[in-house]
Structure 1
Amino acid sequence: MNNKIEIIKTTSENPDFVTLIAALDKSLWERYPELKTNYWGNNVIELNPNVIIIYLENKPVACGCFKKYDKNTIEIKRMFVSPEARGLGLAQKILQELEFWAHDLGYAASVLETLYRQKEAISLYQKVGYVIVDNYEPYVGLENSICMRKQI
């Protein structure tokens, strides 16, 4: 397969990112209709200068971003790969790009939260070195959340 892949660094104001996030939210609400009210407050897109988008044949198909969690740690957010682009290793590529970017900015660790039914995501995160940890704020007490951490 000889797909043309382009990776860009951008911000959360990028219209392609906004479109991908809308698709992510739709897929999450379809998979977890019972959680919509519990998680809506954690699902706010604030202005974020640390966004990665992957284009496949000039079409935006995958994204992710990070935000500062504390002075040494970033939090990975809004990871998504469109269904038609899954299985190409794009999620792993996004994670790698985000971790390199954060490392270049002086961060030493990365945390993330995913939901318990996201078996593919949990497996991917573990494959690239993330370990499950106690839930951190704002996920403490939310039994549907799986929190993970990795040194970068």
Structure 2
Amino acid sequence: MSGAGRAPVAEFRKVALDDPLVEPLLRELTHEYVTRYGPGAHEEMTRYPGEAFAEPHGVLLLLLEDGEPVAGGAYKRYDADTAEVKRMWTHSAHRRRGLARRVLVELERTAAAAGYRRIYLTTGPRQPEAKGLYLAAGYTALFDVTADPLTIGPLPFEKRLPLVQA
């Protein structure tokens, strides 16, 4: 609840990578990656130009509550039929509320509406909560889920998207 016992006003907003509202996402993701994978992980956050996450081939979505970013994620074109999810994030003060799942569902819906038939993504071997999210959301692991993730490297997943009628 927000304010005097009222639920926060939540909305998804498509934004550009350089939008000031994206700053908490970039800051926290960078910190998370560096904490889990070391200083070289900082490079992941600058690997793709902002236009990779811009329409018509990509999107960057923020979930805002009362105008403040609490979660977000993006996809970019992987191939003609496939969107690749990147930058999944939930603000550290708002975790364990199902927000990442809401963002993932909205990214899937948006990608399907843009004509993509499949979603692909990878997560790191030191992110068991992300692995659990993707498995719970119906993604197929493209690796041996019984193996030690640290012996695999990036953990790839895929999910078929429903055909959206125009």
For Structure 1 versus Structure 2, the TM-score category normalised by the shorter chain is: 0.7 to 0.9
Q: Quick one: structure 1 residues 86 and 105, their matched pair in 2 at CA, closer, same or farther if it must change by over 3 Å? A: same
Aligned-pair CA distance for 1:143? 3.2
Match in the other structure for 1:46: 49
TM-score (norm 1): 0.85
Residue 4 of structure 2 aligns with which residue? none
Query: CA 1:39 to 1:10, structure 2 compared with 1: closer, same or farther past 3 Å?
Result: closer
The alignment yields a C-alpha RMSD, in angstroms, of: 1.9
Rg comparison, structure with higher value? 2
Match for residue 105 of structure 1? 114
Partner residue of 1:19? 24
| Residue 129 (structure 1) aligned with residue 138 (structure 2) | yes
The structure whose residues are more often strand, as a share, is 1
Q: TM-score w.r.t. structure 2 length?
A: 0.78
1:54 partner amino acid: L
Pair 1:28-2:33 in alignment: yes
Query: Quick check: 1:84 aligned with 2:93?
Result: yes
Q: Percent identity?
A: 29
CA contact (8 A) 2:34 2:42 kept: no
Task: Give the partner amino acid of 2:47.
Answer: V
CA displacement, residues 11-30 of structure 1 (integer Å, 9 cap, x when unaligned): 22212113311211111111
Gaps of 5+ in 1: 135-141
- Aligned residue-pair number: 143
1-10 vs 66-75, which moves further: 1-10
User: Is the aligned partner of 1:67 residue 2:72?
Assistant: no
Q: Report runs of 4+ in structure 1 exceeding 6 Å deviation.
A: none
Paired residue type of 1:13:
D
CA shift for structure 1 position 90: 0.9
Aligned residue type for 1:61: V
Please tell me whether the aligned partners of residues 74 and 110 of structure 1 are also in contact (alpha carbons under 8 angstroms).
yes
SS in 1 for 2:11: strand
